[in-house]
Amino acid sequence: MPRIVLAALFLASLHSATAQKASPPMSASPSYSVVGKQVQVYTTAANTQLRLAATDKLTFQAQGQPLETQPTVFVDPNHSFQTMIGIGGALTDAAAETFAKLPKAQQQELLQAYYSPTQGIGYTLARTSIHSNDFSSAPYTYVADGDKELKTFSLQHDEQYRLPFIKQVQTAAGGKLTMYVSPWSPPAWMKDTKNMLQGGQLLPEYRQSWANYFVKFIQAYEKAGVPIWGLTVQNEPMAKQTWESCLFTAEQERDFVKGYLGPTLQKAGMGTKKLIGWDHNRDLMYQRATTLFDDPEASKYYWGLGYHWYETWTGSGMQFDNLRRVHETYPNKHLIFTEGCIEKFQFSNINDWKLGEQYGHSMINDFNAGTEAWTDWNILLDETGGPNHVGNFCYAPLIGDTKTGKLLYTNIYYYIGHFSKFIRPGAKRIATAASRDVLQTTAFQNPDGSVAVVVMNQTEKEQPFHLWIKGQAAQTSSRPHSIMTLLVK
């Protein structure tokens, strides 16, 4: 054999041995089987009385290769992805004030409806604001004007409605609630516009005071008995709103975190708090991610990126591909949906079925793109879609009619419940795919081993299908305009 060939063979074998030594093969995933398991189906459907109702029990039978003419939802628990942190909603001033106006019986009904994992839909996640936002009765802060040292810092405002409300929510959630916080604007005197509303920017000379304000707030809430899991840097930093708002370009946010907020949190012993960037719509999130995460000095402080769904105001659809781009580019960062609601409230429209369908469509696609936590906006609003001090009235899953004392359920509540009730913290998303586009689907395996498969149908037609897992299939059907959770255990 020629020397050149021998040399080439030697180098090839050396390279192969080195590669194997550097990258040992991954062990195979434990095999999952549905043999002997049953499927409990829960359904919410338009033009029926079904609301998170236990409808069918299915059994699996052996089935080989499905045909193209057999509509199928494929689920593969042997391939898993992100871990669920939680699903929940925002505990705003508006929610707290509306709650306080309801009769005691309806207050307890709401707490159970949201936070009981058995009698309700099992919320485990919450967001609240650092002082006021539009869903407050009026703008306010926690310090006196011009108090750069924050010596006058006080939670007195929140002690009337919001903190007592949060305490009751904590109790209803079994003492465990993953809570994060967000500012809508610094105090007016810290901004170039001297106005908390209508955008404006943080003045450079107040960057340290504003970073200290975050720490003061977290310390005060935790002293009041409300543990804080994380925080976002700025709610909607690219929107000049008629309500509390403040503009940060990607570079300004990066530099504020790198030079002030990140080090200040670390110095205060809060380095383990989850710091979340962006907190705005999907449209610009990739550019924001590259600016924040490609800078090593800034990136080290960021846990991940938060996002909203309001990019539709431009006429765009929901841009789920932008989530995927961020997730595949920065797989070690985390994605959290921090806010979504349907705007332009009309009391006469609270039974519109499209309300819940928007939620289901978003949640399925957000989870499939790598999202680990999902937060609705206000958990409760009154019969006006408020209170809101600038008239930005919106829908919530539950409407508290303060005139009649009744608690009204929109189908948003049930659509969210198809996820939050059956996909628990610690669940891992598993591979799923449908052979028909009318069957929107995602799936998770819970810590107890149960598998929750969500299937949504936004069309006017019923769609029969098979749930197919590792050569076993169970036959069922998706009703028109419905969402179903198939719980395998």
In this structure, are strands 451-457 and 482-488 parallel, antiparallel, or unpaired? Answer: antiparallel
In this structure, are strands 406-409 and 398-401 parallel, antiparallel, or unpaired? Answer: antiparallel
Cis peptide before 387 (omega within 30 of 0): yes
Rounded-to-10 torsion of CA 260, 265, 268, 271 = -140
Distance CA 309, CA 70 (A): 34
By three-state DSSP, how is residue 409 classified?
Answer: strand
357 catalytically annotated: no
- Dihedral sign from CA coordinates of 147, 148, 151, 154: positive
By three-state DSSP, how is residue 443 classified?
Answer: strand
Which tokens hold the place of 139? Answer: 């703008």
By three-state DSSP, how is residue 153 classified?
Answer: coil
N residues, the chain? 489
- Catalytic residue (one of 97, 244, 339, 372): 339
Distance CA 482, CA 392 (A): 30
- Catalytic residue (one of 236, 244, 311, 372): 236
236 catalytically annotated: yes
Distance CA 37, CA 47 (A): 31
Other CB atoms within a 10 A radius of the CB of residue 303 amount to 18
Q: Which amino acid is at 353?
A: W
Distance CA 381, CA 379 (A): 7
Residue among 134, 135, 153 nearest 145 (CA): 153
Active-site amino acid positions: 236, 339
